[in-house]
């Protein structure tokens, strides 16, 4: 994050929180689903989220939990 702020050169970013989440959240959700073999209830528990919240986030990021049921490879 410090590098990011250094590159701004005085420019004031907008929506930094959303920008950051859009980069970090999808890989976190995918990795957790992979770890839990696609089990959304378990993934929600591991993440500390309500299952409905997890499902909402999966939909927002167009992540199919079924792709992680059988330990399919993670995206790079």
Cβ atoms of 40 and 65 within 8 Å: the answer is yes
| Rounded-to-integer distance, Cα 43 and Cα 29, Å | 8
Two tokens at 27?
A: 């890989």
User: At residue 10, what are phi and psi to the nearest 5 degrees?
Assistant: 90, -15
Lowest pLDDT segment from 8-12, 13-17, 55-59: 8-12
Work out the average pLDDT over 20-46. Answer: 95
Work out the average pLDDT over 43-66. Answer: 96
| Rounded-to-integer distance, Cα 26 and Cα 10, Å | 29
Two tokens at 31?
A: 């990795």
Residue 71 pLDDT greater than 70, yes or no: no
Which of 16, 68, 59 minimizes the C-alpha distance to 39? 68
């Amino acid at each position: 994050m410090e590098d990011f702020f250094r590159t701004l050169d005085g420019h004031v970013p907008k929506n930094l929180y959303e920008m950051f989440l859009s980069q970090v959240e999808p890989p976190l959700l995918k990795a957790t689903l992979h770890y839990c073999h696609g089990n959304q209830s378990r993934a929600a528990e591991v993440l500390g989220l309500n299952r409905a919240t997890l499902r909402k986030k999966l939909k927002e990021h167009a992540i199919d939990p079924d792709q992680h049921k059988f330990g399919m490879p993670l995206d790079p």
